[in-house]
Structure 1
Amino acid sequence: MIKTVNLQKIFKTEEVETWALNNVSIEVKQGEFVAIMGPSGCGKSTLLNILGLLDNPTGGEYYLNGTEVSKYTESQRTNLRKGVIGFVFQSFNLIDELNVYENIELPLLYMGISASERKKRVETAMERMAITH
């Protein structure tokens, strides 16, 4: 489960303070598939970087499977990210020479997961995203 409460991200320079996220509260339950959409510059990537444990928010709370993780160190985020978070990138991050299945399978291959387990995980992910065709 993913839950945020009044999540904030502020980028500051000496002259400018930019609010990328201003009190974002969401809840995504186990098994739900969610799309985040909006115009360029609205904070989508910032939110995903925080949800993906690539960055910490400036304020607010972020719960992952019931544990508050918004103040985790980089090392703690890395360790948690390895076992809990997965990403499906936009097309420019896909490898053209690989088909959809192979692109989804590639990170699992790098992780040393067995062929049978990779097959199971890739097929499950493709079913959840309705892209088995």
Structure 2
Amino acid sequence: MYKATTRHITVTVTPTYLADQSKPDEGSWVWAYTVEIENGSREPVQLRSRHWRITDARGHVEEVTGPGVVGEEPVLSPGDSFTYTSGCPLPTPSGFMTGTYRMQGPDGGFFDVEIPAFSLDLPEERRTLN
């Protein structure tokens, strides 16, 4: 589990290797990651967009941006949380991801919330990022 807090918004990520969807002999390894976003602030916030940096074991970086997450732009009232699961294929047996969520406050202003860097490693391998 990986965790980061920005402006009282806590993002927790738990990655899981998906052996049944991976095809190592074809150069494809797949992970799921579950994200929980908790609003510990005193004001409601809305997740408007995401920005991911995905790095494979060869150092190749792919950047992904887009509106919301899993087709949603959730509003989190104080004390609320939102959890979703998504996936990431890699052409190498390990890598890592990090990024930001763009949030909007009740005054209409925007701010970025850190997504903690998290490691994508095979279960039998040593973790490369803590």
Q: Which has the higher strand share?
A: 2
- Larger RCO: Structure 1 or Structure 2 (Cα < 8 Å, ≥ 6 residues apart)? 2
Higher helix proportion (structure 1 or 2): 1
Q: TM (normalized to structure 1)?
A: 0.27
Answer with 1 or 2: which has the greater Rg. 1
TM-score in terms of structure 2 length: 0.28
